């Protein structure tokens, strides 16, 4: 999923195409997809006007077969992708944010395997901080953190499960669509390094991490 506009990151171009360590951010997660034996092909969803540029960025990836323009929201982009894939009849589809560059192969394949068993699975990280509800900049109440998770990507689904849910409901996260459709979503322990670049400070952190990440993937 690379169709976001990146308004919060305040970059001159969409953050997923911004270069860190001489490679566009989208390059890193695609490298992991390319290495996986569980991935047959990739569909990349991009903002309007970016198809040709992304084709150049991704030309070394044999598994990138299609590049499509996304919609105005994440849900609209998901619907476009789901509809496009219908004629291909995939058994499992994987959604991943291009703005989460540091995706390790084990996590990707673990999520896929769990989706094959349970129909839907997502990477997620347990909440470790105290969580409070706030109103007007004051603490209103506290939430028990023992069962709280931060949902990440990758997220994998049986095609029929996500296609049915996306037609009936609208949400900005695929797992919520399945939940609203009375489906179950399996949690896979996520990775703190698989964070989403959203704010300028996230971009600074990614720049700091990227060289050691590149070195680790070559070993």
pLDDT score, position 2: 43
Q: Which residues contact residue 97 at a Cβ distance below 8 angstroms, ignoring those fewer than 6 apart? A: 1, 29, 153, 196
What residues does 139 pair with on adjacent strands? 134
pTM for this prediction: 0.90
Reference 193, options 107, 93, 74, 96; nearest CA is 107
Q: Going residue by residue through the chain (219 aa), what tens digit of pLDDT does each one get? A: 544 454 554 557 888 899 998 899 999 999 999 999 999 999 999 999 899 999 999 999 999 999 999 998 999 999 999 999 999 989 999 999 999 999 999 999 999 999 999 999 999 999 999 999 999 999 999 998 888 999 999 999 999 999 999 999 999 899 999 999 999 999 999 999 999 998 889 999 999 898 888 777 765
Q: Does residue 200 sit within a domain?
A: yes
Domain that holds residue 43: 15-217
Q: Does residue 10 sit within a domain?
A: no
- Dihedral sign, CA of 172, 195, 23, 40? negative
Looking at the 3D structure of the chain, how many domains does it have? 1
> Is residue 190 a contact partner of residue 124, using CB atoms and an 8 Å limit?
yes
CATH number of the domain within which 94 lies: 3.90.550.10
Q: Does residue 3 sit within a domain?
A: no
> Is residue 143 a contact partner of residue 131, using CB atoms and an 8 Å limit?
yes
pLDDT score, position 216: 76
pLDDT score, position 4: 46
């Amino acid at each position: 999923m690379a169709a976001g506009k990146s308004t919060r990151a305040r970059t001159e171009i969409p953050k997923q195409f911004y270069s860190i360590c001489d490679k566009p951010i989208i390059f890193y997660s695609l490298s992991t997809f390319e290495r996986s034996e569980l991935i047959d092909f990739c569909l990349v969803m991009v903002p309007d006007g970016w198809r040709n540029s992304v084709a150049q960025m991704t030309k070394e990836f044999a598994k990138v077969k299609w590049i499509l323009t996304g919609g105005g929201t994440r849900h609209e982009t998901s619907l476009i992708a789901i509809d496009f894939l219908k004629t291909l009849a995939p058994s499992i589809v994987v959604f991943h944010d291009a703005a989460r560059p540091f995706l390790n192969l084990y996590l990707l394949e673990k999520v896929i395997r769990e989706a094959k068993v349970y129909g839907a699975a997502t990477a997620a990280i347990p909440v470790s901080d105290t969580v409070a509800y706030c109103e007007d900049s004051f603490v209103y109440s506290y939430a028990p953190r023992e069962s709280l998770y931060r949902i990440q990507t990758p997220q994998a689904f049986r095609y029929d499960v996500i296609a049915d849910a996306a037609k009936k409901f609208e949400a900005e996260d695929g797992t919520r669509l399945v939940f609203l459709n009375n489906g179950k979503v399996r949690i896979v322990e996520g990775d703190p390094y698989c964070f989403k670049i959203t704010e300028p400070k996230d971009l600074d952190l990614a720049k700091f991490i990227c060289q050691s990440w590149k070195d680790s993937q070559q070993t």
